[in-house]
Structure formats: structure tokens, C-alpha cells
Structure 1
């Protein structure tokens, strides 16, 4: 189980401030609404040691039943950076793409567009790099 903490062990990106996954945005809304929607502390669920916020109770329940389906890939870190073998805590929750049913976050909207246009290049590299990056994030969180 790993999300800065995509999972609280260091592998869930909570940004520099707040300690909340996706900076408090609702991960389910990307799929149901097709856009970034700010969640509410009223609808919170703790998964992988990190609080996740939702716009409503229905979204919270959907996430609780299938968190892996809705959580962003690579712990919510920028997919472009992960593809390069690194991570940046800075992501824009509104810079996202859903590719093959999976949510990817990026540094900014133009970065998300480039990644989507060249997913065949970026995604295999990110997938190959993520296990090593995840271990490094978890180790750094402990130290």
C-alpha cells in the first residue's frame, strides 16, 4: 500500500501545504463530471494514510468501494516528471487527462495536453520508473 503519502507513506502527493490528496480535489469528479471539482472536508475518506476530499457523499462512497479505480496514477505526481524518472510536488489539479480509464495529473494544462498527445511515449516510461520512485519516496518519508 503506497500514495506525498499517492499514498501517505510518501507515495501520495499532498503538495506543499494542506496534507490532503490532490490538494483537496475530488478524484471521482474527474470521471463523473469530466472536470476538476474541489472537494469538501465534510466528505473525507482516509486512504493509504492520506485524507481524500469529495464533493458529495455519493462520490466518497464510490471512491471507498474502488479507490484504485479513481485515484490518480503515480500517487498524484506529475506523469511527465515520473516518465523522466523524477517527481515534482507541484501539480495543477485542473491539469489532468483520463487515458484508458486512468487519471493522470500534470504540472500544467499544456503539459497534460502534450502527455495525452504522446501517451505511447510517456506512459510506458512512467510505468517503468514508478516502482523505483515510489520506493525512494517511501524511504525519504521515513528518514
Structure 2
């Protein structure tokens, strides 16, 4: 992609993200904008807003987890729809845990830490990616591999910064 076209595309995506974030109700953001954590959790330390990370791979849809089936990994408490899903996660957490700590993959590609919406998800290369909303997800899906490559490059520098410091 030529530099001018890439710049225009990134500007369009950044605008879409900004508009999407501005239009979203404040209560939709689970993360603390002043936190330096590399994982996106709610006030109780629960990731994926309580959705079962294994179900994305087995059911192919966001599925609510249950409080009786939990497992803590890398500072995140995940909830599962069943004991079998919890046990599958325990045996291979790197396979099922969302990438970029559950933050928006497109946001990370654009050097931002935005909340991840468990209903705006994608599995690519056997990994789970979230986006801040479905409009941003549409842009992300236009070049999944390119966006993931950029996000993977950005993540080491962003992971311990506050979302607020990146705006």
C-alpha cells in the first residue's frame, strides 16, 4: 500500500474509532483509563465481560460464562459456560485468551488501548481478537493480517501505558 493511501486509511480508521468511542455510552467501557495494566478487566478483575473465551472456538459465538466456572490466568479471572471449557482453558490458556490483553486489536494497531467488546470479535490464525465496536471491527476485517502485524509491533510499547496517555 502506498504511503499516502496508508495514511488516508489510518486516518479514516482513527476517525471511525473516535466517533464510535464518542457515541458509545460511558458504561460500556470496562477498563480504567488510568490503569497501566496490560489486561482489560472489569472492577472485579473479570475479563471478556464474563464471556467464555473457549466458546468462541467451540461454539463460534460469544457465550456468557458462569461464576461457578472460573479460572485465573495472568491477572484475569475468566468465566466459562461449563467445567469442560474451564478445563480446556486451563490446559492451553495461550490458545484461548484474547490477544492484546482483551483490548481492541484495531486500537492497538493505531497505538491506542481501547476497550474490547466481546461481541465484536474475530478468530484469525487460531487466536481471539476483540474490537471496540462492530463499526471498528468492519475496518479491522478489511486487512486482518496487516492490522495484526502492526498491533503486534505496537503492543510491547503500549501494554503498560494508560489508555488515557495514548489519546
Q: With structure 1 as the length reference, what TM-score do the two structures score?
A: 0.83
Residue of 50, 63, 72 corresponding to 1:46: 72
Deviation at 1:136, TM superposition (A): 2.5
Which secondary structure does the structure 2 equivalent of 1:135 belong to? coil
Partner of 2:39: 12
CA distance in 2, matches of 1:92, 1:18: 17
Q: Which has the larger radius of gyration?
A: 2
Moved more, 19-28 or 110-119: 110-119
CA distance in 2, matches of 1:46, 1:120: 29
Partner of 1:65: 91
* Map 1:69-84 → 2, pairs under 5 A: 69-84=95-110
Runs of 4 or more above 3 Å deviation: none
CA RMSD, 1 decimal: 2.1
CA distance in 2, matches of 1:83, 1:49: 23
List gaps (5 residues or longer) in structure 2: 1-30
Which secondary structure does the structure 2 equivalent of 1:58 belong to? helix
Deviation at 1:19, TM superposition (A): 2.5
Residue of 34, 37, 53 corresponding to 1:27: 53
Which secondary structure does the structure 2 equivalent of 1:136 belong to? coil
Deviations 1:43-93 (A, max 9, x none): 00011122110000000000000000000100000001100111013x221
List gaps (5 residues or longer) in structure 1: none
> Do 2:72 and 2:78's aligned partners in 1 also have CA atoms closer than 8 Å?
yes
Query: Does 1:116 find its partner at 2:137?
Result: no
Query: Does 1:104 find its partner at 2:129?
Result: yes
Aligned pair count reads 131
Q: With structure 2 as the length reference, what TM-score do the two structures score?
A: 0.72
